[in-house]
Structure 1
Amino acid sequence: MTEKSNPGSPFGEQQQHRTPGLTAPMSPTPDYGEHSYKGSGRLAGKVALITGADSGIGRAVAIAYAREGADVAISYLDEHDDAKETARWVEQAGRKALLLPGDITDRQHCKDLVTRTTEAFGRIDVLVNNAAYQMTYDSLEDISDDEWDKTYSTNVGAMFRITKAALPHMKEGGAIVNTTSINADSPSPGLIAYASTKGAIQNFTGGLAQLLAERGIRVNCVAPGPIWTPLIPSTMPPEKVKSFGSQVPMKRAGQPAELAAAYVLLASDEASYVSGATIAVTGGKPII
């Protein structure tokens, strides 16, 4: 995998001046598993709706799901070129891709994502709530009320609304996978708004897993550590980007492709007795 074995800080000082960020300006380019992930039919015939699937972890998951046999609805904000590239890889795997641009902080759009997915594919078997927003601040006083509300609306509010809209279209055997973070357990002080939403996501996952157990729908989450995605150079100062990932025991950031297997497992029937769990993919740093 690209740069996977390179220890330390291989990224250099770089920054993007738009949020969300884009794949093309990144150096090195993230590894989404395009040339490495090999499927084995573990999600054959399933339909997945993935938020934030234009790039980053979402793209890696979309590619893996498609190669495992799933059709994929790709939810994203406005990164059209990145989203089209994700769709290209899904279709190259022989599966159908549906592009769904729009702002998930808009309540109606959350409902529309589900409506358009079910109109195209008839149902939803797997829902991946992955889209997220973060920004780095040195002090709490620097965070405006609007910034705080945007972070919660994107990371928590959208997850609640999309999940609520999707449930009537999910049958027994369905799976919901939420993206939390190592920050849920070990919050970075410079990411206090983002980190607190990740704690909420993990708590929501545990509660919802219990609520949906009788309906045969499983709910789990994945907790990534530092992962090299467009979110990093677009939301962190250059000096932090340069050292990104060096704080974990493996002394490097992970690549999006290194998370795909966890999302595949949790979506597959092989995880039929796994619900309410958190899988940590953190470069050796334990979570409680």
Structure 2
Amino acid sequence: MADPQHVDTAFVEQTSEEPRMPGHESALDRKPQWQPRYPGSGRLTGKVAIVTGGDSGIGRATAVLFAREGAKVAIAYLEEHDDARITRDACEAEGAEVLLSAGDLGDPDHCRGLVDAVIEKWGRLDVLVNNAGEQHPDEDVTEITAEQLQRTFQTNIFSMFYLAQAARPHLQSGAAIVNCTSVTMYKGAPILLDYSATKGAITAFTRSLSENLVADGIRVNAVAPGPIWTPLNPCGGQPPENMDDFGEDTPMGRPGEPNEVAPAFLFLACDDSSYMSGQVLHPNGGIVVNG
């Protein structure tokens, strides 16, 4: 497993134009709301979960909510150690055991190391939340470099394959995989061509993996957030001029908060959704989509 203070920078720099993305939540003037909004009810008691991109944003909100519901939580992130420590402390304040793992999930060796560390520490894996992602805005398809295209697909969809492959031998009947897709998969995004393409791949992967695993009692679902206030967009995922009115084009007229999305991940991770697989939930501010 990667040391929480170590990142395979050679791998990152080889494939990324902007290796510092998705950015630090601690640097934002307006802080996202990630704190759980209701008392826990033990819905994940005794469970072990991996949450990728768990240092900030939706990942942090999900990790802390899982902790409140009784899970032991492994928090996977790239290199934002300050944010990760805040998430760890918040999970531990809920009484949870926590494992931090820093490194690049686009590297299959790192993914295997992460799962191995979880099994070594806790002896089981019940929930895999594939939430980590990155996006790079471009006005024209010709502006997307081969390096950026590779980097976006490695982080957003290849990592899900790598983690599912590493986790599969340890997932028993009753386990759940929850992937993060996006509203952009359904309605498109003219300046997020490569990002939106990965989200379409994630939805197809979710439905296909569900069919592949459902007979073994393993459920696979996804969440497709709309515009959510996380570091992803203000730290380079959107042009700066788009941030003043970010999310105001939704029917609700505002961006969502991470703690408005995390309950969808909890629902799909626990037995409340025991008759659901291959499905997508849409916390998106009222945008009507097909699927």
- Counterpart CA distance in 2 for 1:198 and 1:38 is 32
Counterpart residue number, 2:27: 25
Counterpart residue number, 2:113: 112
Structure 2 length normalisation: TM-score? Answer: 0.91
2:243 partner SS: helix
Over aligned residue pairs, what C-alpha RMSD do you find?
A: 1.2
Counterpart residue number, 2:267: 265
Counterpart residue number, 2:14: none
Amino acid at match of 2:196: A
- Counterpart CA distance in 1 for 2:20 and 2:130 is 22
| Cα contact 1:72–1:97 (8 A) shared by 2 | yes
Counterpart residue number, 1:10: none
What is the percentage of aligned positions where both structures have the same residue?
47
* Structure 1 unpaired stretches of 5+: 1-15
- Counterpart CA distance in 1 for 2:79 and 2:167 is 22
Counterpart residue number, 2:3: none
> Which aligned pairs between 1:36-55 and structure 2 lie closer than 5 A?
36-55=37-56
Amino acid at match of 1:269: D
Q: Give the Å deviation of 1:19.
A: 1.2
Counterpart residue number, 1:163: 164
- Counterpart CA distance in 1 for 2:75 and 2:38 is 19
Counterpart residue number, 1:65: 66
Counterpart residue number, 2:9: none
Deviates most, 138-147 or 20-29: 20-29
Amino acid at match of 2:245: S
Deviations 1:75-108, CA, capped at 9 Å, x for gaps: 0000001001100011101110100000111121
- Counterpart CA distance in 2 for 1:203 and 1:25 is 35
Deviations 1:37-93, CA, capped at 9 Å, x for gaps: 421101111000011000010000001000000000000000001001100011101
- Counterpart CA distance in 2 for 1:17 and 1:179 is 21
> Which aligned pairs between 1:210-221 and structure 2 lie closer than 5 A?
210-221=211-222
Structure 1 length normalisation: TM-score? Answer: 0.92
Deviations 1:205-235, CA, capped at 9 Å, x for gaps: 0011111011100000000000000001112
Amino acid at match of 1:188: A
1:185 partner SS: helix
Deviations 1:108-164, CA, capped at 9 Å, x for gaps: 101111111111111110000000010100111111001001000111101001011
Amino acid at match of 2:97: K
- Counterpart CA distance in 2 for 1:17 and 1:255 is 25
* Structure 2 unpaired stretches of 5+: 1-17
2:199 partner SS: helix
Q: Does 1:241 align with 2:243?
A: yes
| Cα contact 2:130–2:180 (8 A) shared by 1 | yes
1:161 partner SS: helix
- Counterpart CA distance in 2 for 1:252 and 1:156 is 28
Counterpart residue number, 1:6: none
Q: Does 1:89 align with 2:90?
A: yes
